[in-house]
Amino acid sequence: MASSLPPQGPFPPPSALAAAPPPSRPGSGLQMAHLLHPPTQQGPVMPMPTSSPYAHSYDSASGSPADRSSILTDATGSLPDAPALMPSMVGAAGQPQQKRAYRQRRKDPSCDACRERKVKCDASESSSCTECSNRKVRCQFTKETNRRMSSIKQVQDLEKQLSSTKQQLQQLRSGVIRSDNAMDIDFDVSGQPVLKLPDVGYRPPRRNRPSVPQGLSVARSHMRNYGRGVIKVPPPYRQSISPTVIADSNVTALPSKAVADRLLSQYHTYVHSVLPIIHWPSFMAEYEQVYQAGTLRGAHREWTAVLFSVFACGIMHTLEPNKEHEAQAFLLSSTGIVDTWVDDFTLDQARVTLLISIALYEMNSRSASWVWLGTAVRIAQDIGLHMESGPWPAVEAEMRKRLWWGIYAWDRLLSLELGKPISIHDQDCDVDLPCPIDEQFISEAGHVPEGSQTNPLLAIIHVVRSIGQLTKTLRSPVISPATLEIFDRHFNACLATFPINYHPKSDLYLDPSSLAPIIYLQNARLILHRHNISPHCPTEVRYPAFDHCLSIAADTTRVLQRCMHSPPTSPTYGGVRGEWQTLLASSATTLLCTHIWRCLLILIFREDFAAALVCVQACKAIGNSHVLMNPCGRYVAFFLKYLLERLQRNDSRPLDRDEEIIAYVSGDMQGTTDSSWIWQGSETGTKLETMPSQVSPTLQNGRAAAASEQGLDWEGWEWIDRTVEYLAGEARRRSQERRDVPSVVPRPIESHKLSPDSIPNTSNTAPRSTPSHSRMTIANII
């Protein structure tokens, strides 16, 4: 019987072919259920091809038999539509019976080439004919000369549909869904995701631009002259514009030299060290000239706008009580100096828009920051920063690279934080990486030296390069373990390029002003794994996601701990607080505060109170120095009070099974369209209530406006510190009771013991509790 024949690979056994008439065309009786779920092979398994066997399938007009190999075989190795031996055809001895003679069918038509040359064609279903092979031409059949092409095309269309269906099934099983086919994620034959993440240190390849066969200098001159107003010369060949100067000395007032020096120092320490988009020696030389003259008359207009943008960013890293209002004044001066009607842009205008975006983000004006970032990207692309060009002077060539990669990094960071699409695509730029040296070694007279060390900008570039793929991956409801492993390997490779003191397991002191690269890396890791805590994920995916988030939060805590003590050799810092508190408060950025807040929610949820206390201490040190700390603290206080109320209700459900608790832990995941889930089924459009009109922050009074906007009526970080420390003590006592007492009869919780005011102040002493208090712990829920 055909079913008992041994497997013979992708072709039928000789006995089956001898008994059955040779098919002249592939059969059309494909069983879809048989193809979607083929029977298990009993013989040796054929190796899976690395590429689709239908990569060169026929089109509607032509095709080649050499391209028609198929992998659709049944369990015995025979073709699915090869006719099996019928019982009536087999004799008693198991031998096929003799059939009466019949007229042999006419041979299939010849290929196009043999038909034209009128020679014999020996083409088969799997190989070209000898004539075409010898002549090295394509052996193909067309509809006009081969009627069997219609059935072959049908089979191949079905095979393509089958292959696509199998791939989609594998994608669904692996948890990676491409609903819009917009993800730059490839899939292998088995359907597993294959991410294309750039290697660490990868330099973009230069675009190949073909050379012109003859000189066209006359044509270029005429194009520049007569094409004015109609044709704009491309950026690499555009003539530079002479900078305009300020003619009116009353355009804006300069701050005092002492204030300006302090603001420039803060900017250089906390912003320029991360994004060195300004050539600092040249900038400081022109700065000294302006203050020696005592007026802005004669200064370059665009440079002056950069100066006031630097002031705005610098004051956001001070401990001034009204710094948001003063930063707004600096930004108004900067935007008022720049000519917004100009049609030819410069490097300084790209710097101004980027610095305004950074300052607005630190003022917690996220949408405004996103809009100004888009302006920076468009200006940079308009002047050709995204393309390798030149030749340029040594300083300008290097600063063009640094400015472009600074905009690139900021675009990636804001896209990930705000859940927005990226504005810069890797395939659109071929700019080389910046040199890992300090700008003081770059001069017009000398050559830019080569270096192999890694500066903060290069370290950030290695991290943010993967954010483009990460933002697209976050569009999927579930991220598969294979995808998570690929990203984790990339992040580990990025961490390996960092200095040793950045590693979470290191014990070396870490300056708070240099936290940016490691926080960017930790934040990307947390957002990646936190995506799988949503209810769209199955249980076997959600639990590991919480474990990974807890591990990342613990690593961040160890990094913060190494910043929370005085540096080995420290200068004397001003302020009424200690040295490390002042340093951490001055270094605090919106992204750092947001990341600590995310980690704190995870640590409280998983009852790692010791690590949570480290985050609380860092938040207390920052305090009112950053505008985002009070909203974060208000949310954490609400979360703790909700947990206490849950205990008061004697809710015995595990925390990780309570969807409302998980929604609160997800935090700002609910602020993006792709990651949120609580808004589904909510009111939209005209059904929503109309909000009162907003007043521009520039028309309000600084800190008072921020307080009224964010509602600072909450318990404060001291209450959060006492509450978390109290819960930590109760968790330790509860664990001790389990070891000492075999079984404890639970008693009802007294409601008056759960109020926030009843929690003792344990900031200076170890927590002490009574047995009645010992039952008020989050561990009681689990």
Could you tell me if 281 and 347 lie in one domain? yes
Same domain? For 340 and 407 the reply is: yes
Q: Are 393 and 510 in a shared domain? A: no
Phi, psi angle pair for 276, to nearest 5°: -80, 75
Domain that holds residue 728: 498-677+712-780
Assess whether pLDDT exceeds 50 at residue 429.
yes
- 375 plus 504 within the same structural domain: no
Ramachandran region, residue 730 (left: φ > 0; alpha: ψ -120 to 50; beta: rest): alpha
Of the residues 441, 465, 489, the one at which a domain ends: 465
What separation in angstroms does the CA of 227 have from each of 74, 232, 362, 476? 68, 8, 44, 48
Residue 100 lies in a domain: no
The pLDDT-based confidence of 742 (bands split at 50, 70, 90) is: low
pLDDT at 762: 42
Are 633 and 720 in contact by the 8 Å Cβ rule? The answer is: yes
Would the pLDDT of 698 be above 80?
Answer: no
pLDDT band at 550 (very low <50, low <70, confident <90, very high): very high
Residue 89 pLDDT > 70, yes or no?
A: no
- How confident is the model at residue 226, as a pLDDT? 74
What CATH number is associated with residue 132?
4.10.240
Q: Is 378 part of a structural domain of the chain?
A: yes
Question: Do 452 and 509 fall within a single domain?
Answer: no
Predicted local confidence at residue 646, as pLDDT: 82
Residue 771 has pLDDT above 60, yes or no: no
Q: Does 376 lie in the same domain as 524? A: no
Mean pLDDT of 726-730: 82
Least confident of 195-199, 497-501, 564-568: 195-199
Same domain, 533 and 598: yes
Give the pLDDT confidence score for residue 85 in this predicted structure.
Answer: 40
Per-residue pLDDT averaged across 177-195, rounded? Answer: 47
Tokens representing 706?
Answer: 């921020």
Q: For 379-401, what is the mean pLDDT?
A: 86
pLDDT reported for residue 639: 94
603 lies in the same domain as 456: no
Nearest to 545 by CA among 481, 613, 623, 452: 481
Does residue 87 lie in a domain region? no
pLDDT at 221: 78
Tell me what pLDDT residue 445 has: 62
Mean pLDDT value of segment 658-676: 88
pLDDT at 691: 58
| pLDDT, greater one: 691 or 363 | 363
pLDDT value for 232: 77
Residues 6+ apart with CB under 8 A from 387: 207, 235, 236, 429, 430, 431
Q: Is residue 262 part of a domain?
A: yes
Rounded to an integer, what distance in angstroms lies between the CA atom of residue 620 and that of residue 600?
13
Name the least confident of 210-224, 377-391, 665-679: 210-224
Most confident of 51-65, 328-342, 707-721, 740-754: 328-342
449 and 503 assigned to the same domain? no
Instruction: Determine, yes or no, domain membership for 232.
Output: no
Query: Distance (Å, rounded) from C-alpha 602 to C-alpha 631?
Result: 17
Q: At what angle do helices 629-648 and 702-710 cross, to 10 degrees?
A: 30
Average pLDDT over residues 299-325: 94
For 237-260, the pLDDT digits (tens) are 776 777 788 877 667 889 999 999
**Choice between 176 and 328, residue whose per-residue pLDDT is larger:** 328
SS (H, E, C) 143-191: CCCCCCHHHHHHHHHHHHHHHHHHHHHHHHHHCCCCCCCCCCEEECCCC
Q: Output the DSSP codes for 314-357.
A: HHTTS--TTHHHHHHHHHHHHHHHS-TT-SS--HHHHHHHHHHH
Same domain for 643 and 586? yes
Percent of the chain with pLDDT over 70: 66
Q: Average pLDDT of 605-631? A: 93
Task: Give me the mean pLDDT over the 455-461 stretch.
Answer: 87
- Region 284-294 average pLDDT: 93
Name the more confident of 344 and 691.
Answer: 344
Q: Does the pLDDT at position 440 exceed 70?
A: yes
> Percent of the chain beyond pLDDT 90?
34
Residue 506 has pLDDT above 80, yes or no: yes
Going by DSSP bridges, is the β-strand pair 193-195/141-142 parallel, antiparallel, or unpaired? unpaired
Q: Where does the pLDDT of residue 38 fall: very low under 50, low under 70, confident under 90, or very high at 90 and above?
A: very low
Is position 534 within any domain?
A: yes
Same domain assignment for residues 727 and 614: yes
**8 Å CB contact between 748 and 725:** no
Question: Which whole number is the average pLDDT over 687-711?
Answer: 52
**Higher-pLDDT residue of 781, 225:** 225
Residue 537, pLDDT > 80, answer yes
Decide: pTM greater than 0.85: no
Asked if pLDDT for residue 593 goes beyond 80, the answer is: yes
Mean confidence (pLDDT) of the chain: 75
Domain count of the fold of the chain: 3
pLDDT at residue number 753: 41
Residues 284 and 406 grouped into a single domain: yes
pLDDT at 266: 95
Q: Is residue 251 part of a domain?
A: no
| Domain termination residue (choose one: 120, 147, 174) | 147
Residue 8 forms part of a structural domain: no
